[in-house]
Amino acid sequence: MRLLADAGHTVLAPDLPGHGGSERHRGDHSLGAHASTLRDLLQVLDLPRVTVVGHSLGGGIAMVFTYQFPERVERLALIDSGGLGREVSGLIRAATLPGAEWVIRAATTPPILRTAGALGGALARVGIKPGGDLAAIAGGVASLGDGERRAAFVRSARSIASVNGQRVSASERLYLTEQVPVLLIWGDRDPVIPIAHGHAAHAALPASRLEIFPGAGHFPMLDDPERFAALVTDWVATTTPAAHDGNRLAAVMRGRGIRS
């Protein structure tokens, strides 16, 4: 975010309700609810249109935001995004099972976290440094020691996935973004969401731009932040913001057989 801001962009990175440093939230944690929250934020900040960049769950939210509020989207960037295929990490599927809250609670007790921290320190002392995935996931798991934040995570997971994989897919609606500049970025060693989803989305949107980060996992922006910021900056500079046309969009939807 600092690199993008230094390049002249105004960067907004809101925590979702129930996540990060935001207030605890016991309500709706679906993709649509999160997208509406982002719309409300832009309304309060008096920002009519933005370039939306979403990672993982945020990618799914970004696509729903684009679907619900197309007039507010200039460009869409999806980073190792959810919502583009069924396959997903077993850890995400496990979080949707009955009793997942109790398992996560047990895994985030102070003794367990201290043991994990000591192991990470021992690996660092012998020259083995955790990658971006391990550091980011470890930080996320540690935050789930809070009961309400843990419940928010489980509700979010259950809104998009089941034990059989992702239940929510934007694949049949990608054509609605044909007039929106789309950037796809993926780590070729992503253990959470396979890179095949990025290739499939790129094939469905021939005008999109696909960038692969060799050796990167689920968090390519952490594995190579300089390249990530440079790509986003170049993409913004070399693309024309989408011009929303409600009549054209309606005609496209009718052409695909969608009726009200």
Give the pLDDT confidence of 131-190 residue by residue, as tens digits. Answer: 556 556 555 655 665 666 677 777 777 777 767 777 677 777 777 777 899 999 999 989
**How many Cα atoms are found within 13 Å in the side-chain-facing hemisphere of 51?**
19
Sign of CA pseudo-dihedral 106, 107, 108, 109? positive
Q: Are residues 197 and 215 in the same domain?
A: yes
Q: Strands, DSSP E only, in the chain?
A: 50-55, 73-79, 161-162, 165-166, 182-187, 209-213
Find the mean pLDDT for residues 43-54. 96
**pLDDT tens for each residue of 12-47:** 999 887 777 776 666 677 888 889 999 999 999 999
What tokens were used for 206?
A: 């021939």
pTM assigned to the model: 0.79
Q: Which of 190, 208, 223, 224 is catalytic?
A: 190
Q: Are residues 133 and 9 in the same domain?
A: no
Q: Are residues 99 and 61 in the same domain?
A: no
The amino acid sitting at 145 is G
| Active site (annotated) includes residue 190 | yes
Domains contained in the chain, number: 2
Sign of CA pseudo-dihedral 192, 195, 197, 201? positive
- For residues 27 and 66, give the distance between their C-alpha atoms in angstroms, rounded to a whole number: 22
Contacts of 69 by beta carbon, 8 Å cutoff, 6+ apart: 35, 39
Q: Are residues 67 and 176 in the same domain?
A: yes
Label residue 128 by pLDDT band (50, 70, 90): very low
| Active site (annotated) includes residue 56 | yes
Q: Are residues 187 and 243 in the same domain?
A: yes
- For residues 41 and 113, give the distance between their C-alpha atoms in angstroms, rounded to a whole number: 34
Q: How many CB atoms lie within 10 A of CB 207?
A: 12
**How far are the Cα atoms of 18, 47, 84 from residue 68, in angstroms, in the given order?**
22, 16, 17
Q: Are residues 84 and 95 in the same domain?
A: no
**How far are the Cα atoms of 92, 123, 148, 253 from residue 113, in angstroms, in the given order?**
20, 15, 18, 50
Q: What are phi and psi of 159, to 5 degrees?
A: -75, -20
**pLDDT tens for each residue of 69-120:** 999 999 999 999 988 887 777 777 777 767 767 666 666 666 555 555 544 5
Q: Which of 25, 29, 55, 218 is catalytic?
A: 218
Establish if 260 belongs to a structural domain: no
Q: Which domain holds residue 65?
A: 2-88+168-255
Radius of gyration of the chain (CA): 19
Find the mean pLDDT for residues 181-209. 92
| Active site (annotated) includes residue 40 | no
Q: Which of 19, 29, 34, 56 is catalytic?
A: 56
Q: Which of 232, 240, 241 is nearest to 72 (CA)?
A: 241
